[in-house]
């Protein structure tokens, strides 16, 4: 698989992720949901950068944890991009490995774009107003990540303590809210572990 094809794939995946996030951010207020099916909703939430809607704690003032996470992402994306470039140049690399690692790269870039620029180009999202293109509300690398996929598959009346991480505050499984970039990464990691684990030895 040639590097130009990998580049086109990554760009297309990132664009798809960003178009959906921008539509959600500029058409829904935080917490607002669109019912697609009874078990699938588009629900707008934002977080400081952790996966699957998880919140990073901040004790007020400047959020150093958020900044460190964003910088860590920049470094990891650089390393992953170099890795994808190297393996795509090797004829012996399975196409599935290149596609899988490209999905992870696209997912990481998609979430990093939120952190890098959303705080600069959007007004702040609130429970009463939809975010608009404007003067921004935070600095570079400090924007919040947009999540929207919510699957309240079924509700547990009594959840075992060791399974509480799989449910939300209303005891719905699967309670996490995530975005397309998170999905890229999760699907790719599972695929690579199941079908290409020997390559990474």
Query: Please, are residues 143 and 118 in contact by the beta-carbon 8 Å criterion?
Result: yes
- The span from the CA of 96 to the CA of 149, in Å, is 26
17, 147, 168, 170: the active-site residue:
147
Q: So what's the pLDDT on residue 53? A: 47
Q: Is 114 a catalytic residue?
A: no
Within the chain, how many helices (H) and strands (E) appear? 5, 6
- pTM attached to this predicted model: 0.84
pLDDT by residue (tens digit) across 135-192?
888 888 888 999 999 888 766 666 666 666 666 666 566 667 899 999 999 999 999 9
Per-residue pLDDT tens digits for 14-60: 999 999 999 999 999 999 999 999 889 999 999 876 554 444 445 45
Give yes or no: 170 in active site.
Answer: no
H helix or E strand, kind and range, residue 147: strand 145-150
CA diameter of the chain: 54
């Amino acid at each position: 698989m040639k590097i130009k094809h990998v580049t086109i794939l990554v760009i297309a995946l990132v664009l798809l992720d960003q178009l959906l996030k921008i539509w959600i951010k500029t058409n829904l207020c935080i917490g607002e949901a669109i019912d697609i099916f009874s078990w699938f909703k588009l629900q707008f939430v934002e977080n400081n950068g952790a996966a699957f809607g998880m919140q990073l704690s901040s004790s007020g003032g400047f959020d150093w944890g958020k900044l460190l996470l964003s910088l860590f992402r920049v470094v990891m994306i650089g390393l992953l991009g170099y890795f994808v470039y190297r393996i795509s140049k090797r004829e012996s690399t399975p196409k599935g490995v290149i596609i899988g690692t490209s999905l992870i790269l696209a997912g990481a870039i998609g979430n990093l774009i939120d952190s890098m620029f959303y705080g600069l180009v959007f007004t702040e999202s609130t429970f009463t107003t939809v975010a608009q293109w404007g003067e921004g509300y935070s600095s570079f690398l400090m924007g919040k990540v947009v999540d929207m996929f919510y699957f309240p598959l079924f509700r547990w009346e009594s959840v075992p303590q060791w399974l509480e991480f799989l449910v939300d505050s209303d005891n719905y499984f699967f309670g996490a809210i995530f975005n397309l970039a998170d999905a890229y990464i999760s699907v790719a990691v599972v695929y690579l572990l199941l079908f290409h684990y020997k390559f990474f030895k």
